[in-house]
Amino acid sequence: MIYLDNAATTWPKPEIVWQEVLRAGKEYGANPGRASHQMAIDASRSIYKARVALSQLFNAPDPLRIIFTLNATEALNLAIFGTLKSGDHVITSSLEHNAVARPLKILQDRGVEVTYLQGDDYGYMDEDELKKALRPNSKAFVFSHASNVTGTLQDAARLTKKAKEYGLTVIIDAAQTAGVHDINIKDWGIDLLAFPGHKGLFGPQGTGGLWIGEGLHIPPLYYGGTGSQSESEYQPTHLPDRFESGTQNTPGLAGLAAGVEFIKEIGREKIEEQEEKLTIKLLDGLSNMKKVTLYGPPVHLPRAAVVSMNIEGVEAAEFGFLLDKVHQIAVRTGLHCAPLAHKRIGTIESGTIRFSPGYFTRDEEIEQVLSAVEKLIEEVS
């Protein structure tokens, strides 16, 4: 199996990730933050380790303001619903995933105004467009750091700094970038950063989180036992407890901590370079094939390791099916949960075939994929 669906979930994971998952489950499988016995303390420490590792990776000023969720979607909802209320105006991009677009649609129905920035031909936004969109009631700017359909990688540093100058709360969806591309909470001034644990950070599925900047008053999505201030009828006000009700995913977070440690050992930049190299190889190879339509920015522009394409005369789903069945190549086909992006690139009917290599993808795998695609095009189109 050649796995090119890393934009959904990275696979395989570094071996240490599963070792730490097992260690958490078998050696200290107790409740973090709920008791004083040694196993419970080890569980708490393990989760704290994940917070510290992430705060270092993202240059976050306070590990306790990184809170954990089931996935990035939950984190984005927490950020978006917590920031916007009826009468507010929010600015977003035209490439958003449903994890941003659907909460915004609900809020729109409740009286929040939404502006979708079109950006340039590839969806890259700039400060002028942002400035033009401002209204007196503009409250927030929420955007995907990189599109999961086109790969378009925004200049998030510049956009965040400008948005902060305009007094906006900046919410970034780092689903496609966390662990691979540079993210700097402190220097850029990011208010809310949502990240999945199971993609570029190499954690197991079932992990994700949100950086919540100082001074933001976000209500929790749900309430319950926190192991702290248990005598109070209300949720504690301090972080992370305010947002982490009920038993947390200790083995998953122990795995996530190991994934982030792995990134630090390799060096994030090296992972970024490796993914870039693989993506360029893929783009170069595909662009030379007849009947191939490639979407997203050309090879020299900033992008995440996501390559979307279609083959003339063949349904994306059929082509993906054949890649899997005949060549054991795993890709994703269809709408990738991001209809806004598909509308932009004109593929809302049946989506695209998406290749997403990861750090563990080998050069020769890309070569095999290119030759499989070429062969299939001849056979089916």
Q: Please state the three-class secondary structure of 12-29 as a single string.
A: CCCHHHHHHHHHHHHHCC
368 binds a second copy (CB under 8 A): no
In the shown chain, the binding pattern of residues 68 to 87 toward a second copy, with x for contact by CB under 8 A and - for none, equals: -xxxxxx-xxx--x------
Interacting residues with a second copy between 169 and 208 (CB under 8 A): 196, 198, 204-208
Cβ-in-10-Å burial (0-12, 13-18, 19+) of 231 comes to exposed
Could you tell me the smallest distance in angstroms from the CB atom of residue 241 to a second copy?
11
In the shown chain, the binding pattern of residues 302 to 341 toward a second copy, with x for contact by CB under 8 A and - for none, equals: ---------------x--xx-xx---xxxxxxxxxxxx--
Could you tell me the smallest distance in angstroms from the CB atom of residue 262 to a second copy?
15
Select the residue interacting with a second copy from 31, 59, 184, 368 (CB under 8 A).
Answer: 31
Could you tell me the smallest distance in angstroms from the CB atom of residue 282 to a second copy?
17
In the numeric block, which tokens belong to residue 69?
A: 């969720």
Interacting residues with a second copy between 204 and 243 (CB under 8 A): 204-208, 221-227, 230-235
- The stretch among 28-36, 85-93, 110-118, 122-130 that binds a second copy (CB under 8 A) is 28-36
Q: Closer CB to a second copy, residue 186 or residue 362?
A: 362
Could you tell me the smallest distance in angstroms from the CB atom of residue 128 to a second copy?
28
Cis peptide before 12 (omega within 30 of 0): yes
9 binds a second copy (CB under 8 A): yes
The sign one gets for the Cα dihedral 309, 310, 316, 322 is: negative
Helix (H, G, I), strand (E, B) or coil at 165: helix
Could you tell me the smallest distance in angstroms from the CB atom of residue 199 to a second copy?
9
Within 15-65, residue ranges assigned H as helices are: 15-27, 38-57
CA-based nearest residue to 299, from 314, 284, 310, 316: 284
Could you tell me the smallest distance in angstroms from the CB atom of residue 77 to a second copy?
3
Widest distance between CA atoms in the chain: 69
Q: Closer CB to a second copy, residue 184 or residue 350?
A: 350
CA-based nearest residue to 49, from 257, 360, 190, 198: 257
